[in-house]
Structure 1
Amino acid sequence: MELIKEIEIRYFRSFYKFRLKDLGDLSIIFGKNDSGKSNVVRALNLFFAGRPEHSHPFDFPIDFCEQRLSESEVADDVRKFLYVKVTFNTPSSYRKSLGATFSIKRQWTVSRGADYNEEISRHIPKQKHYLVTRLLNKIKFIYIPAIKDLSIFEMLLASIHETISESADFTKAIGDFSNQLQKMTSEMFKGLPEEVSSSTKIGAPTQLSQLFQTLDFETLANGELTPKSLTRQRGDGVKVRHIPELLNFISEKDKFDFHIWGFEEPENSLDFVASQSEASRMLALAKGDRVQVIMTTHSPSFYLLDDPSVAKYYVSKNSKGLSTPTQGKDLKEFDAQSALQDGFYLPAVAEAVKQVAEIEARAKQAEEAATNLAQELAEITTPVVLTEGRTDAKILLLAWEKRRGGTPPFQIRSCETGGEQAGSGNGGAGSLALRVKAIAADHPNTVVALFDRDPEGIAAYKLDKNFVEFDVVGHKAKRGMHGKSYAALLPAPDFRDDCAAYQNLPIEFLFRDEHLGKSVDGKRLALKGKKASTMVGTQKVEKPLDDVTHFKDVGNGKTDFAEVIVPSFDAEAFDAFDQVFSIIEGLIAFEAARVD
């Protein structure tokens, strides 16, 4: 729920002129200790509850900004005041009367003390101010400080009483309790003389909110035989995990329509895994239609949440000790190194955690793809040639048909997984190397990996220590020491010596330039010229290289080239592929002889 759109704070504690814009369902405020991030939540508590913290009432001399105080001491015209201004996205049922958004500013002055002056958006006429008050009365703000001690649970239990006190079932239960208690104790005062009292009995409790504060929760973990007290016997991490669920119960059951949680450091006392789970849970609750969460954190688990419903703000202090926010586009361009200079490591740590998570995800995906491919290959009884991509496989198959005719005595497969229309993001030289290394010694057939002779292909062709290089039909190739798996680079024809020298020989360059430039039905292969670059002082200088094929990269149109243009070539255009097939056949023959 995005009820609060913007928060503007002036002269409160470490804030001089401070504003957070475009808050989300879940707004995450992060920064180093003592940066002032918690003052955002405390300012909201001042706005809604009239005090910045549960344990400390508003005290103007303490809560007034020191910078503003210094200015007021040297200049008579500098007024001593502070304010919190909240801009709301108007709920649909009020939008016709109050507009799409409206704001409320509550201002405190040194002379008024705890009393404040309230200003409502000018576009709302005074006769409609009652609607603003009515809406505010439907909003409940709950502040959870960084230290989650027993008093927080007492406060939440009192709120639970407030939530269920108007329930008919609860009222009946209290009545039954009182009646039963009176029956059981009816003899207690029977001996009193009538002049003292004609009837004395135990009455129904009237201060149930205080009674609720003394209650506790019993928890029973897996494997335990007896329940334990949540607040007195469980660790802080277990207690903290219960707080969002208590808040959610209150938000779902009470009389308020809208709920805002000001939550300081929900990750406190949680390990990494629990923090990850708590972040996901908090986001799920905030994306509902009754709750908005504004929180502070030091945890990458929260800072790394990637969802359109999340807004993030980095708070730091300037040279004057005043808190300033980095947000929006500025935060997207935020340099983690600048935070390190401030002594704040979360962005850098978060970036590292994100990169590790991405690497692990890619590795897991690659492992799954390799397993799936190995299962597919095990079902093939003939040798298999694996290429880096689908278009490579199509070109190779066309070349066999043009030069040899018929069906090749081996399968030609791409290392990409998925259906024919799947994207090409999981192919490439690295994936091809991973797949050929996954071929087991008991694999039923020979597998040959064919790498492009470019920097990526050459690097991937190195494979690992389990592969040894040897000569086959006048070319270098590699064999897995356990057999069955082989690898080779595309051989360079005489007319592509320069491509070999500059390590720029993809399979498309096995055709001559006149073929690469051919167009069919307006479709053609795009080649992009490379540039040479160097640093001159602090400036990067780039210069286009000569307009020759070995200084070009294959751009758009690979699929059209393989499916539309290549089939139009005559057999002579494929002559460079003879060497490719010679290597493949040589490797298959070598494996057959070795097995025999």
Structure 2
Amino acid sequence: MSLHITKIYIRNFRSALNLSLSPGKLAVLVGKNDSGKSNVLRALNLFFNGRTMPSNVFDFEIDHNVFHNPNQRAKEISIKLEIEMPETYKATNGDFVVWERRWRSEGMVHDEYSGRRRVAGPRGGAKLETVEIPKKSNAHALLRHINFVYVPAIKDLEYFSELRASIYDIIAEVADREFRSSSQDFEQSISHQLEDLTNQITASLGFRSRLALPKDLSHIFGSLDFLSEGHDISLDARGDGIKARHIPLILKFMADKKRGLQVRGAQPHTFIWGYEEPENNLELSSCVELADQFWGFIDHGVSQIFLTTHSPVFYNLHRKQEEGESRISCHHIFREADEEGTKQVTELGDLDERMGTTALFAPLVTELEERVRRQEQAHAEVEQLGQANRRKIFVEGVSDRFIIGKALSVFAAERNAEIDIETKDGAGINYVIDMLQSWRSRAKHHPELPRAAGLLDLDPEAKTALKNWNDVPGHTKSAKCFKLPTPPHLFPALQAGFRVPVVLECLYDKEAWFWAESHGHLKDRSVLSVISKELNNQIVNAETTLDGHLHDDWAIFVKKEFKQAGKGPMARHYANKTDEDFRARMPYMEHLIDEIVAYLFPEEEEVQEPNGEPPVIASAGFRTF
């Protein structure tokens, strides 16, 4: 039910001679240094708080655009906002409010707002009609309850002191009675300790005197500290990045607390933030987390956020939304010429040209952002999974979970109940490696954590990922990567030179593939992906045919592949086979299961036979390609 700004018009304020923009609920302002990005935030702060910055009073001579020299009229700064009204207010007050404030050298000279209603035009178009907001309308209180918070680019100790002090205003309202009681107890304790001093003052000066806390405790809150648990490290002693991450959490806390104070029937508060360069002092992963945090706050306690940035992490945010969605807007702010002042464009088509090399990093940063988000999600999932203190196998998809689960029950029945197989839809290689990485990270701090295994296909990308993981010293102490075996029925095709990727579905025998084809689970494979360039040229030149190089025993593995929709039904069908049938058709899975179980239960390796020799585990060996 909170408000949000849908249009901003700024005239003659600092570098903005004539600037307008249509912000989304998360509005990202991008541009070079001194392009005028921050002036948008300062204009909003002037509009709502009467100051250009929290520490700077309004000075018309400084804040008026130097190139605005009207001939007949007085110099004037104008800021006009269009503010969308909640649905329940529109019938009486219009669809949105137009609110304008103007300043001259003597101060504010104009402050008016009125509603606008969208109505059908005479020729089927639309037009706006002005709506006078009734004096008794709740819209007046709604507009007065807009809280604009400005966060400067330089977040020094003074800023943090003021931020902590502002917590007092909220806490004092929430717990006024409790505060009074606690402060009285504190005052009595002080009086008891200083009783001799106060008695001397009374005897000397002839009147009673006592020490008391001040009525306003905000300066005391400004001296409060956040201490890290365990080591009691002061927030002031922490790095700038850690301190910066506290800011949105503190602001969100105050917004939630203030909203919680509302009595029933009162008009709600609207919280809008103007945030300068949130990337300052943050490494990439923290930037990604903060960007996602901003996005998560929108409509969940914070109505709208304006932020200025040089970082691709933040101006890539608009790519998070669905096509056609406009909750995130990205505005390129630039200065064309001094006389023309600051301009803006919503589309980023010319960003590369105007921003230079910074914008060229955006696609690369997007890939890194995705990796960071994946790893953060994996970290959160492992934190949850690790609490169960059970052994895990992470696999690439739901089909893998069916088959590996069945293989465990057949080849390691005594350990099956002690192992969890984890995955999710569309997991893939990245999921497995990210989960192993997070498991390894958790094990460093929790040595008692059981081991985890990852299982990958044998396609080229998986082979590289497996090698990169297992070859790093220390990785396999707590998490190791394994690969699917190459089934014997695929050997002839591979030996014939066909580069068939060994994925889970290749473990199924020829009869299973024929069953899958009869149920519509297969499709034609792109032959170019599995044949050599030389053979392709021969086929193109009609020198030979593909079928001439295939054998009926394995041709289907070359010519066909599974549809995505067919993988699940096939895996369920195969996993439902009897244990005897599964063992007979997939004997090559036994060695893999033995390896994984032996890794997950290393204590068994230390068990000695009565003669002092380690137990011998017999298993069949199979070739891999």
- TM-score band by shorter chain is 0.5 to 0.7
- Residues 373/163 of structure 1: CA separation in 2 closer, same or farther (3 Å cut): closer
List aligned pairs for 1:197-208, cutoff 5 A.
197-208=206-217
| Partner SS state of residue 52, structure 2 | coil
The one-letter code of the counterpart of 2:183 is: I
- 1:269 & 1:180 partners in 2: Cα distance? 43
- Give the whole-Å Cα distance in 2 for the aligned partners of 1:490 and 1:124: 74
Which of the residues 160, 168, 171 maps onto 1:161?
Answer: 168
Q: Is the contact between residue 2 and residue 23 of structure 1 (CA under 8 Å) also seen in structure 2?
A: no
Return the offset for 1:248: 1.1
Residues 206-263 of structure 1, C-alpha deviations (whole Å, 9 max, x = no match): 23223322x1313226xx53x12212x1111111011111101111112572211111
Assess, with a 3 A threshold, how the Cα gap between structure 1 residues 212 and 93 changes in structure 2: closer, same or farther: farther
Contact 1:448/1:488, CA 8 A, preserved across alignment: no
Instruction: Tell me what 1:281 maps to.
Output: 293
What is the count of residue pairs matched by the alignment? 422
Pick from 320, 329, 351 the counterpart of residue 311 of structure 1: 329
Letter matched to residue 104 of structure 1 = W
Q: Output one character per residue of 1:452-505: Cα deviation in whole Å (capped at 9) or x when no partner.
A: xxxxx99x8999xxxxxxxxxxxxxxxxxxxxxxx9539999xx99971499x9
* Counterpart in the other structure of 1:447: 490
**In 2, are the aligned partners of 1:31 and 1:316 still within 8 Å (CA)?**
yes
* 8 Å Cα contact 2:100/2:110 also seen in 1: no
Match of 2:417 in 1: none
Partner of residue 240, structure 1:
244
Q: What are the superposed Cα offsets for residues 31-69 of structure 1, whole Å, 9 maximum, x if unpaired? A: 111111111111110001111112221111211122323
Look up the match of 2:49: 49
In structure 2, what is the equivalent of residue 91 of structure 1? 86
Q: Equivalent residue of 1:41, what SS?
A: helix
Offset at 1:432?
6.8
Between Structure 1 and Structure 2, whose CA radius of gyration is higher? 1
Are 1:35 and 2:35 an aligned pair? yes
Choose 248-257 or 268-277, whichever is displaced more.
248-257
CA distance in 2, matches of 1:23, 1:258: 15
Q: Deviations over 1:543-577 (max 9, x none)?
A: xxxxxxxxxxxxxx999xxxxxxxxxxxxxxxxxx
CA contact (8 A) 1:85 1:104 kept: yes
Aligned match of 2:345? 326
CA distance in 1, matches of 2:45, 2:373: 41
CA distance in 2 between partners of 1:506 and 1:16 (Å): 70
1:251 to 2:255 alignment: yes
SS of the counterpart of 1:202? coil
Residue number in structure 1 paired with 2:112: 118
Asked if structure 2 preserves the Cα contact closer than 8 Å seen for 1:32 and 1:344, the reply is no
Question: 1:178 aligns to what?
Answer: 187
What residue number does 1:190 align with? 199
- Write the mapping of 1:42-441 to structure 2, written as runs, cut at 5 A: 42-69=42-69, 72=70, 76-77=71-72, 79-92=74-87, 94-110=89-105, 112-114=106-108, 116-121=110-115, 123-125=130-132, 127-128=134-135, 131-166=138-173, 167=175, 168-192=177-201, 196-213=205-222, 215-220=223-228, 225=231, 227-231=232-236, 233-254=237-258, 255=261, 257-305=269-317, 306-307=320-321, 308=325, 309-320=327-338, 322-327=341-346, 330-331=347-348, 334=349, 338-355=350-367, 369=396
Q: Does the aligned pair in 1 maintain the 2:398–2:424 contact within 8 Å?
A: no
Q: Structure 1 residues 187, 91: CA separation in 2 closer, same or farther (over 3 Å shift)? A: farther
Please tell me the residue identity of whatever aligns with 2:344. P
Q: Structure 1: how far apart are the matches of 2:158 and 2:91? A: 42
SS in 2 for 1:288: coil
**Contact 2:101 2:108 survives alignment (8 Å):** no
Q: Specify the code of the residue in structure 2 equivalent to 1:500.
A: V
Structure 2 CA distance for aligned equivalents of residues 359 and 191 of structure 1: 70
Relative to structure 1, the CA distance from residue 371 to residue 361 in structure 2 (aligned partners, 3 Å threshold; closer, same or farther) is farther
Gaps of 5+ in 2: 117-129, 262-267, 379-393, 408-422, 428-457, 467-481, 503-528, 551-562, 566-622
Aligned equivalent of 1:500, options 531, 540, 545: 540
Give the CA deviation at 1:30.
1.3
Q: Distance in 2 between matches of 1:358 and 1:157?
A: 34
Tell me which moved more, 186-195 or 41-50: 186-195
How many Å separate the matches in 2 of 1:14 and 1:199?
60
Distance 2:463 2:235 in 1: 54
Secondary structure of 1:17 counterpart: strand
1:151 offset after TM fit, Å? 2.1
Alignment match, 1:466: none
Q: Give the corresponding residue for 1:15.
A: 16
- In structure 1, how many angstroms separate the alpha carbons of the residues matched to 2:401 and 2:9? 59
Question: d(CA) in 2 for partners of 1:506 and 1:86?
Answer: 69
User: Kindly tell me: are residues 67 and 91 of structure 1, through their superposed partners in 2, closer, same or farther at Cα, counting changes over 3 Å?
Assistant: same
Amino acid at match of 1:312: C
Change (3 A) 1:197 1:145: same
Query: Alignment RMSD, CA only?
Result: 4.9
Indicate the SS of the match to 1:143.
strand
Query: Residue 373 of structure 1 contacts residue 435 of structure 1 at CA under 8 Å; is this kept in 2?
Result: no
1:128 Cα deviation from its structure 2 partner: 2.8
Cα distance change on mapping 1:358 and 1:274 into 2, 3 Å: closer
Aligned to 2:607: none
Q: Which amino acid aligns with 2:272?
A: I
One-letter code aligned to 2:341: L
**CA offsets, 1:494-529, max 9 Å, x none?**
xx99971499x999xx9xxxxxxxxxxxxxxxxxxx
Shift of 1:440: 7.1
CA contact (8 A) 1:217 1:230 kept: yes
**For residues 156-198 of structure 1, what are the alpha-carbon distances to aligned partners after superposition, in whole Å with 9 as ceiling and x for unaligned?**
1222111111222223222322233334434423245679433
- Aligned sequence identity (%): 28
Decide whether the 8 Å contact of 1:45 with 1:52 is kept in 2.
Answer: yes
Instruction: Assess if the C-alpha contact under 8 Å between 2:27 and 2:307 holds in 1.
Output: yes
One-letter identity of the residue aligned with 2:156: D
| Contact 1:16/1:68, CA 8 A, preserved across alignment | yes
CA distance in 1, matches of 2:372, 2:220: 51
The Cα of 1:271 is off from its aligned counterpart by 0.7
TM, length-normalised to structure 1? 0.59
**CA–CA distance in structure 2, aligned partners of residues 85 and 116 of structure 1:** 11
Give secondary structure in 1 for the equivalent of 2:78: strand
Question: Is the CA contact (8 Å cut-off) linking 2:114 and 2:132 kept in structure 1?
Answer: no
Distance 2:20 2:542 in 1: 55
